[in-house]
A and B are shown apart, each in its own frame.
Chain A
Amino acid sequence: MPSCHGSAPKSLGPCDATVALAGNPNVGKSSLFNALTGARALVANYPGKTVELEWGVIESGRRRIGVVDLPGAYSLEGLTEDQRIAAEVIRNNEVDAVLVVLDASNLARNLYLGLEVLATGLPTAFALNLVDQADARGKPVDVAALSRELGAPVVRTAGHRGDGAREALAATLAAMEAPRSPGSGSRTEPEDLHRRAREIAANVTGSTAIGATESALWRWTTTPSTGVALLLAVLLGIFSFVYFVGGFLSTAFSSGWSAAVSPVLQAASYGALGNGPAARVLLWGIDSGINATLAVGIPYVIPFYLLLGFLEDSGYMNAAAVLTHRIMTKLGLHGRATIPLISGLGCNVPAVIGTRVLSSGRERFIACTLISMVPCSARTAVVFGAVGLYLGPLPALAIFGITLLVTLGTGIALNRLVPGRPPPFLLELFPFRWPTPRNVAFKTWHRTKHFLLAAVPVVIVGSFLLGALYETGAMWALTGPLDPVVVGLLGLPPVAGLALVFGFLRKELALQLLVALAIMQYGGSAATLTSFLTPTQLFTYALVTALYVPCIASVAAIGRELGWRKALLISAITVVLALAAGALVAHVRAFW
């Protein structure tokens, strides 16, 4: 069997043809993709490109068809990196055929992209989605007439239920068999293309009913007087849900691992390698490393992704972006950056990947810098475990408050310092819809899988490294060189410096590491943090931990997305800010 057409990832296995799903944002394209490929879809790098796209394989008759879900775009002239990739795949004929998904309730604009795709000459079929909404608006679409006008097959689909998905794919494959049209080749002016799209839409809906109006829900969500309160309530809801559900899952996963897997791994390691440092380093990596992702990353990421998927599908995210865009513009960002920034509260790694929805390199750099300062679940655990537990909830809130101020200040400063301008603001307001549980579940599953692949290996490698440095005692060599900064600037004991530096490998260990090192230094009496740290020192330590470089996994993610130079620069910025904030707190408190 021949391998997939030129551009499909190798991990997909052999297939006979590749089909791209294209369409405007929010037209139910991904629901159709999920209906076609089920949960087996895999996220893969497009060969030679940095953007990951979702691929799936479908058995159709005796053929294996590779299907790729392209990022939603309004045209083949996309503004963001995501959309440019979608355009390239189609313009360069990197697939064998295209299935264009159309929103029947907004036909004219959707047809613009459809006509652009047709003009490339690629075999094309159309899936007419959201038909019920068009019917409800009194603009039913005549499918046969639409097919005649376009000169291509059109199939009615209901993406949220998966109805018609297989038929639409079959029509696309059939289009490949039909004699190939040459494609117009030459570019049509946007004015003419829009005129043609509107003409077709008018002909097949037979209605000139007036279009969109503003609903009360939009007014409430995007007007500051009501919208801000609603946004704060949503954020508080996210935070509590993630905190409680995550905490529950964390305990469940971690105690399950400790009870069932850890003893086996320990017995095997000590059995094979003896009771020496080699066995302990191995256990750092495979036992405590995996346990860490079960206790800190995964349990908080899953409930967060559930809510994120729900909010995205509901249409609320864009309303929130409209509301926040004035603040975001001051930070050099588009309102759209709100979404990745908020998702940093779960874990910085997917948040960094989420900056692909932003259009310029400048914006992505600023967003990744700010995301690096958003307290993820690991750092939140440190703040609660150190400050919340020993000093009380108000000082813990103060840490989050200071972090927020530093993050906002950094955004304002970067917007002035980094050459360029904030991106122009332009956003579609989607109709509010009830998300379907099926689609939200799919999204959560795909994202969690993505998170596992991106973060877990790095955390395990970091654990090995940390274990090796700890067990061999190599980390103590850094005590002397760090003293001027740690003792002089931050007023912390020397062991705290080591815990800070090596906490980079596993941020959530910043506390346990500190206690473990303190016991080695001062003896067993150092088992509680307050026995060797004053409240000011504890506060300073937690604040610095919250602000400097999130962790090795997030730096790796930034490196992959923006390049290593920017990853290093962002790390340096956060270290300087953390030290400055820490020093300020240490010295201001000393005055009191």
Chain B
Amino acid sequence: MPSPLAEAPAPSECVVVRLDAAGGLGRELRALGLVPGTVVRVLRRGRGHVLVAIEDARYSLGEDVARTVVVRRR
């Protein structure tokens, strides 16, 4: 069942299904590799943000940003 990255448990491994962010945010997320098919590892859920790893980089995504990334558990 696809669900927002904001709701993914930590730790877990997900695959991006769809990106709902448009405009500048969408472009930025796509540049970082958040495109369909990308494996995202959820490292930790903090207050108001979630810490993820894509390949060799780690990002902190705000709750609102993580809501725009739709993922499937792996």
- Which B16-60 residues have C-beta < 8 A from chain A? 21, 24-25, 27-33, 35-38, 41, 43-44, 46-49, 51, 53-60
Q: Are B54 and A79 in contact (CB under 8 A)?
A: no
Residues of chain A contacted by B21 (CB below 8 angstroms): 424
Inter-chain contact B55/A425, CB cutoff 8 Å: no
User: Which of the segments A162-170, A219-227, A384-392, A546-554 contacts the partner chain?
Assistant: A219-227
Mark out the residues of chain A between 99 and 137 whose CB falls within 8 Å of any chain B CB in the assembled complex: 105-109, 112-113, 137
Measured between beta carbons, the chain A residues less than 8 angstroms from B61 are 425-426
The reply to whether A79 and B55 form a contact with Cβ atoms under 8 Å apart is: no
Shortest beta-carbon distance, A230 to chain B, in Å? 15
For A211, give its contact among B35, B37, B55 (CB under 8 Å). Answer: B55
Q: Is the CB of B2 closer than 8 A to any CB of chain A?
A: no
Q: What 1/0 mask marks residues of chain A from 199 to 238 whose CB sits below 8 Å from any chain B CB?
A: 0010000000001111000110011100000000000000
Residue from A77, A223, A426 in contact with B62 in the complex, judged by beta carbons closer than 8 Å: A426
Q: Whole-angstrom distance between the alpha carbons of A429 and B51 in the complex? A: 9
Residue from A106, A113, A326, A426 in contact with B29 in the complex, judged by beta carbons closer than 8 Å: A426
Asked whether A224 lies within 8 Å of B47 as measured between CB atoms, the reply is yes
Known contacts: A74-B31, A191-B36, A424-B25. The answer to whether A222 contacts B60 by CB under 8 A is yes
Interface residue? A190 (CB, 8 A): yes
Tell me the residues in window 53-74 of chain B with beta carbons closer than 8 Å to chain A beta carbons: 53-62, 64-65
Contact status B57-A322, CB under 8 Å: no
Contact (Cβ within 8 A) A427 B51: no
CB of A329 within 8 A of chain B?
Answer: yes
Q: What count of chain B residues pass the 8 Å CB interface test?
A: 34
State in angstroms the CA–CA spacing of A572 and B51 once bound together. Answer: 41
The answer to whether B31 touches A77 (Cβ under 8 A) is yes
A225 CA to B59 CA in the complex, in Å? Answer: 20
Whether the Cβ atoms of A109 and B56 lie closer than 8 Å is yes
Tell me the complex Cα distance, A424–B30, Å: 14
Q: Which residues of B contact A195 (CB under 8 A)?
A: 37
Q: Which of A198, A211, A212, A359 contacts B24 (CB 8 A)?
A: A359
Q: State the Cβ distance, A22 to closest chain B Cβ, in Å.
A: 13
User: Is A425's CB under 8 angstroms from B62's CB?
Assistant: yes
**B28 surroundings in chain A (CB, below 8 A):** 74-75, 77, 79, 426
Which residues 292-313 of A have a CB within 8 angstroms of B?
none
B residues less than 8 Å from A79 (CB atoms): 24-25, 27-28
Tell which of B32, B36, B43, B51 touches A109, judged by Cβ atoms closer than 8 Å: B32
Inter-chain contact A424/B32, CB cutoff 8 Å: no
B25 touches A77 (CB 8 A): no
**Which residues of chain A in 42-89 are interfacial with respect to chain B, using CB atoms and an 8 Å cutoff?**
74-75, 77, 79
The answer on a CB contact under 8 Å between A75 and B27 is: yes
| A425 B60 Cβ-Cβ under 8 A | yes
Q: Does A177 contact B (CB under 8 A)?
A: no
Partner of A424, one of B35, B51, B62: B62
Does A427 contact B59, Cβ atoms closer than 8 Å? yes
Report B35 CB to chain A, min CB distance, Å: 4
Indicate if A507 sits at the interface (CB-CB under 8 A): no
Report yes or no: A198 in contact with B55, Cβ–Cβ below 8 A: yes
Whether B35 and A191, one on each chain, are in contact in the complex, defined by CB atoms closer than 8 angstroms, is yes
Asked if residues B62 and A325 are in contact (CB atoms below 8 Å), the reply is yes
Residue of A329, A359, A424 with most chain B CB atoms under a 10 A cut-off: A424
In the complex, the answer to whether B59 meets A213 with C-beta atoms within 8 Å is no
Q: Nearest residue in B to A425 (C-beta to C-beta)? A: B62
Q: Tell me, in angstroms, the Cα distance from A254 to B49 when the chains sit together.
A: 48
Chain A residues within an 8 Å CB radius of B57: 106, 109, 211-212, 428
- CB <8 Å contact, A213 and B55: no
B48 cross-chain contacts in A, Cβ below 8 A: 325-326, 329, 425
CA distance A425 to B61 in the complex (A): 6
Taking the closest CB of chain A, its distance from the CB of B15, in whole angstroms, is 13
Restricting to A306-336, which residues have a CB under 8 Å from any CB of B?
Answer: 322, 325-326, 329
User: Within the complex, what minimum Cβ distance (angstroms) separates B42 from chain A?
Assistant: 11
Whether a CB of chain B sits under 8 angstroms from the CB of A450 is no
Residues of B with C-beta under 8 A to A326: 47-48
Please state if A218 and B24 are interface contacts (CB–CB under 8 Å).
Answer: no
The residue on B at minimum CB distance from A105 is: B56
A362 near B: Cβ within 8 Å?
no
Bound CA–CA A270/B24 (angstroms): 61
Q: In the complex the two chains form, is B60's CB within 8 Å of A212's CB?
A: no
A322 partner residues in chain B, CB cutoff 8 A: 46, 49, 60
Ranked nearest first, the 4 interchain pairs of A and B with the lowest CB-CB distance are: A425-B62, A75-B31, A190-B30, A106-B56
* Cross-chain pairs A/B with CB under 8 angstroms, 20 sampled: A74-B31, A75-B28, A77-B27, A77-B31, A105-B56, A108-B33, A109-B32, A112-B33, A190-B35, A194-B38, A198-B55, A211-B41, A214-B51, A223-B46, A322-B60, A329-B48, A359-B24, A424-B21, A425-B65, A426-B62
Given contacts A108-B55, A218-B58, 18 further A-B contacts (CB under 8 A): A74-B32, A75-B31, A77-B30, A106-B56, A109-B32, A109-B54, A191-B36, A191-B37, A201-B55, A212-B58, A214-B44, A325-B60, A326-B47, A329-B48, A359-B24, A425-B60, A427-B59, A428-B58
